[in-house]
Amino acid sequence: MSSPLYVQLDMHSFCQAVDLSPAFVIEIVEHGIVEPQGRTPEEWLFDDHAPGIARRAAKLHHDLELEWEGVALALELLEEVRGLRAENAMLRQRLGRFLNS
């Protein structure tokens, strides 16, 4: 049985993938918005979820003119809402099965 394949991008590839400058990416990392593996930007490896998060962060920062702390909080709250919606949908499905029994 093979293990799942995970994509990891180095700093250069990540910057190209998200169309952001290294300085911008460093700011995002410094504020804990994305968390690469490695100690320095030269060693950083980003997982396959990081590009989407970085793009959303850049959009929030640019479109809403939020400071990075606000971007981090907004992304955290959006993720919490997503989780609550998924849980709500699951509970509705269970309730529907219970009521239709």
SS3 assignment, position 71: helix
SS3 assignment, position 45: strand
pLDDT in tens, 4-19: 557 799 999 999 999 9
Does pLDDT of 3 surpass 60? Answer: no
Taking the C-alpha atoms of residue 7 and residue 76, their distance in angstroms, rounded to an integer, is 23
Closest listed residue to residue 54, CA positions, set 7, 62, 42: 62
For residue 81 the two structure tokens come to 């809402």
- Alpha-carbon 18 to chain mean position: 12
User: In this predicted structure, what is the pLDDT of residue 4?
Assistant: 56
Q: Does domain 9-99 have CATH number 3.30.420.10?
A: no
Closest listed residue to residue 13, CA positions, set 46, 49, 35, 56: 46
pLDDT in tens, 39-73: 999 999 999 999 999 999 999 999 999 999 999 99
User: In this predicted structure, what is the pLDDT of residue 36?
Assistant: 96
What is the pLDDT confidence band of residue 2, given thresholds at 50, 70 and 90? low
User: In this predicted structure, what is the pLDDT of residue 41?
Assistant: 95
User: In this predicted structure, what is the pLDDT of residue 99?
Assistant: 85
CB-based contact 68:61 (threshold 8 Å): yes
